[in-house]
A and B are shown apart, each in its own frame.
Chain A
C-alpha cells in the first residue's frame, strides 16, 4: 500500500501542488460553509486528501480538524489514500453478489496484494467496490476506469486487469 511518503523526483511537483492549494484556500479563507467545495478542489489537485492538506484546509477555513475529518470520512467521494492510475471496481450489488462478486473481490485483493479502498505500491491500481452499475444481466460485473466487464470469471479476471498499465 502506498504511504504518504514520496520519492525525491516528486518533491518539486508536490511543492507546486501545495502552492496551488494555498491559492484554493485563499479563495475560501475564513468561510467554514465552503468546506466541501474547498475539499473538492483540493482533491482534484492531489488526487486524494493527505493529512497535511486536511490540516491546511482546516486552518485556512477556520474549521476544526475533527470536522474536516468527519466530512471526509462521511462522503464516499473523498479519499485519504492516493488513487492509482487505474480504478478497478468490483460490483457487489445484489445480482453480482449472488453470482460470485465476493469471490471476484477476494481474488483481486489477493492478486493485487491490497484490500478494497487501497492502492498498490506502484500506483498502478486502486481497488474498490460499487453497489450496482446497472449491468445486473451481466453479473458478476467489474468496472475498470470507464470500461464495464460482464460475466467475469475468477480465472480470467487478472488477464483483464493486467491489460491496464
Chain B
C-alpha cells in the first residue's frame, strides 16, 4: 500500500498505481488526451503532467506510479498554463472544422479544449490540407485531424499484431500511414477498425454507406431489406444514451421499420444457419479426421488476417460463409422466390458492429445470387446517425417483431456477438448432429468470458472434442503459431475446433461500435447477449422452425449442392506486403 497526498488529500493505493488513477480515487480528474483505459500509457501528449514536491521537472500522471509519501499537485498555476499551451499547440496544426467533422460532439480533443477553457489559439501552423486516404473500402484516414497520439498504431501493432499503421517520417512531417505511404487499402490492414474505435479525434472513421442507403430507401422501385448482427442489439441503445449492454431487439426492429426498410429481418437467423452448415462440416471432419482443427470463418477481419499471415491454414478453415453473407445470398434467392420479388429490385443492407464487413460484402466471390449479395453495410454508429437524422428516438420505440422467413432466431445465434459464442452454439448443435440427443447442461461456460485464449473439452458420445477460442489478432496469432507448430511437428493438433474473432471481446468489441467504447462496456454487452440467450424459447440452432422450413422448401439438407453454391466460400493467399491476393 502506498500512502501519499494529492493536492493535500490523503490517498492510499496499491503499489504500482499510477498518479492518474490515484488522483481519481481522491476525486481529482487529471485531464488526459492520449491515455486510454485499454491501452498501455505512452505519454505522447503530455497533457496529464503533474508536479511532485522535491522531484525536479514534471511527471506524466498516466505513466508514473505513485511513490510513498509523495506530495503531488495536479492543478498549480504552472500546470494549468502548460496544459493550455499544449492543447493550443495541438490545435494550431489540427484541422478545426469541427462543425462538419464526423466526431463533432464525440471528440476527445474538443471536450478537452472545452474543459480547459481554450478560447483562442495564438499560433496557426496548419495551412495546406493533406490528401485524405480513401483507398480502403472500410476505413477512411484523415491526416489533417490526426494528433499523433499513437493509440491507433499501438492497437494495430500490439493488440491486433497487424502492423498496418505506423509512425512515418519525422518532425513536422510526421504522419501515421501504411508502409510506403501507400494507403490503408493497399496495405496488410484487416479492416477490423480497432484504430477507428480508439482514435480520440476524427482522423479515422468508417467509409460511410449512409447516403447510398438513403437513396435506396427513397427509391420506390427498390425493395430494401435489412439484417442486424447479434451484437448490434446490445450496442445500439448506447447511441441513444442507454446504459452499455441494454438489449433493444424489439425497439430496433420498430425503428428500422419506421425509417423505411421494406422488410426487417435478422442476421441471427442466418447465424443459426451458419451453425447448421458449420456444425455439419465439423461432424464430417471429426468422422474422417481430416483437416482438423476446423476453424470458424464468421469474422471477416480474422479471414483477411488468416489469408495474409497464416494462409497455410486455409484447408482448416470452415468453408461456411459468415451469417451476413449467408443472409445476403438467401435474400436475393430464397426470399425473392418465396415473395415473388425480382432479385434485381432487392437492395440488401446489413447493420454491423464491424468495419470489415464493408470489405467482406464487396469481395468478388460474394455474389452467389448472381448479384452482390449484400449491397451496403452500416456500422452501429451509422444507423444511429440515420435514426437521429430521421428524428427517431430508440427510447420511444415499441417492441416489435422481425419479419417472417429470415427473422426467427434461437439463443445459440444471439451469443455469436461475443467471444466464445459461435463455439458454444456450434457445440450445442454438433452434439445433437452426432448423437441425436441434446447436450446436457446447455451452458458451456469455459468458452465464455474475456480471457485471451479459452480452452474446453466436450465429450460427444465418448469422442473427446478439444476446442479453443481466441479473440483479437494477437491472441489469434499466438494460437495459430501453436497449431502450426503442432501440425508441423506431430502431424496433428491437440485441438479439434477453434473459434477466432478478430476484435477484442468478439463482435461486441467490433470496429463499428459506438464512440468511446472500452473493454468494460464490451463485457456488459456480452453479458446481455447471454441473458437474451437464457430468455429465448429455443436455444439450439437446429430447433429454429424457420431454419427447418428453409431446408425443407429450398436447400434440401445441410452441405447440399445448393447450400454449397449459396452458403459456402473459398479463401485466398494474400501478400504480407500489400494484402493483395497472390494465389487462389
User: A-side interface residues toward B, CB under 8 Å?
Assistant: 51, 54-55, 59, 64-70, 73-74, 76
Q: Which of B145-167 contact A (CB under 8 A)?
A: 157, 163-167
Closest 9 CB pairs of A and B: A64-B163, A66-B166, A69-B179, A70-B166, A65-B179, A66-B179, A73-B169, A73-B168, A66-B163
Q: Kindly identify which residue among B165, B169, B170 contacts A66, using a CB–CB cutoff of 8 Å.
A: B165
Tell yes or no: B577 within 8 A of A by CB: yes
Question: Chain A: which residue is nearest B166 at the CB level?
Answer: A66
Contact B163 A65 (CB under 8 A): yes
Question: Chain B: which residue is nearest A55 at the CB level?
Answer: B577
Question: Chain A: which residue is nearest B156 at the CB level?
Answer: A66
Q: How far is the CB of B1 from chain A (nearest CB, A)?
A: 38
Tell yes or no: B576 within 8 A of A by CB: yes
Complex alpha-carbon distance, A54 and B166, angstroms: 15
Query: What B residues does A51 contact at CB under 8 A?
Result: 180
Tell yes or no: B178 within 8 A of A by CB: yes
Query: What A residues does B170 contact at CB under 8 A?
Result: 73-74, 76
Q: How far is the CB of B282 from chain A (nearest CB, A)?
A: 33
Contact A70 B577 (CB under 8 A): no
Question: Chain A: which residue is nearest B187 at the CB level?
Answer: A66
Contact B163 A67 (CB under 8 A): yes
Query: What A residues does B165 contact at CB under 8 A?
Result: 66
Contact B577 A69 (CB under 8 A): no
Contact B168 A65 (CB under 8 A): no
Question: Chain A: which residue is nearest B157 at the CB level?
Answer: A64
Query: What B residues does A64 contact at CB under 8 A?
Result: 157, 163, 166, 188
Known: A64-B166, A74-B169. 9 other contacts (CB 8 A): A59-B576, A65-B179, A65-B188, A66-B163, A66-B164, A66-B188, A67-B157, A68-B179, A69-B179
Contact A65 B169 (CB under 8 A): no
Q: What is the number of contacts between chain A and chain B, taking CB atoms within 8 Å?
A: 41
Complex alpha-carbon distance, A73 and B176, angstroms: 12
Complex alpha-carbon distance, A59 and B576, angstroms: 9
Complex alpha-carbon distance, A54 and B169, angstroms: 15
Pairs A–B under 8 Å by Cβ, sample size 26: A51-B180, A54-B179, A64-B157, A64-B163, A64-B166, A64-B188, A65-B179, A65-B576, A66-B163, A66-B164, A66-B165, A66-B168, A66-B178, A66-B187, A67-B163, A69-B168, A69-B179, A69-B180, A70-B166, A70-B167, A70-B168, A73-B169, A74-B167, A74-B169, A74-B170, A76-B170
Query: What A residues does B187 contact at CB under 8 A?
Result: 66
Interface residues on B, range: 10 to 19
Q: How far is the CB of A61 from chain B (nearest CB, A)?
A: 13
**Residue of A65, A68, A76 contacting most chain B CB atoms (<10 Å):** A65
Query: What B residues does A70 contact at CB under 8 A?
Result: 166-168
Query: What B residues does A76 contact at CB under 8 A?
Result: 170
Query: What A residues does B188 contact at CB under 8 A?
Result: 64-66
Query: What A residues does B576 contact at CB under 8 A?
Result: 59, 65
Q: How far is the CB of A26 from chain B (nearest CB, A)?
A: 19
Query: What A residues does B163 contact at CB under 8 A?
Result: 64-67
**Residue of B166, B168, B179, B180 contacting most chain A CB atoms (<10 Å):** B179
Query: What B residues does A65 contact at CB under 8 A?
Result: 163, 179, 188, 576-577
Query: What A residues does B169 contact at CB under 8 A?
Result: 73-74
Q: How far is the CB of A15 from chain B (nearest CB, A)?
A: 21
Complex alpha-carbon distance, A67 and B576, angstroms: 13
Q: How far is the CB of B139 from chain A (nearest CB, A)?
A: 15
**Residue of A51, A69, A74 contacting most chain B CB atoms (<10 Å):** A69
Question: Chain B: which residue is nearest A76 at the CB level?
Answer: B170
Question: Chain A: which residue is nearest B189 at the CB level?
Answer: A66
Complex alpha-carbon distance, A73 and B167, angstroms: 9
Complex alpha-carbon distance, A67 and B187, angstroms: 13
Q: How far is the CB of A74 from chain B (nearest CB, A)?
A: 5
Complex alpha-carbon distance, A126 and B501, angstroms: 50
Query: What A residues does B167 contact at CB under 8 A?
Result: 70, 74
Q: Which of B185-206 contact A (CB under 8 A)?
A: 187-188
Complex alpha-carbon distance, A76 and B168, angstroms: 12
Q: How far is the CB of A140 from chain B (nearest CB, A)?
A: 23
Query: What A residues does B179 contact at CB under 8 A?
Result: 54, 65-66, 68-69
Complex alpha-carbon distance, A64 and B153, angstroms: 12
Question: Chain A: which residue is nearest B171 at the CB level?
Answer: A74
Complex alpha-carbon distance, A67 and B188, angstroms: 13
Q: How far is the CB of A39 from chain B (nearest CB, A)?
A: 14
Query: What B residues does A68 contact at CB under 8 A?
Result: 179
Q: How far is the CB of B478 from chain A (nearest CB, A)?
A: 15
Q: Kindly identify which residue among A55, A59, A67 contacts B166, using a CB–CB cutoff of 8 Å.
A: A67
Q: How far is the CB of A123 from chain B (nearest CB, A)?
A: 22
**Residue of A66, A67, A68, A70 contacting most chain B CB atoms (<10 Å):** A66
Complex alpha-carbon distance, A55 and B168, angstroms: 16
Question: Chain A: which residue is nearest B165 at the CB level?
Answer: A66
Query: What B residues does A73 contact at CB under 8 A?
Result: 168-170
Complex alpha-carbon distance, A55 and B170, angstroms: 21
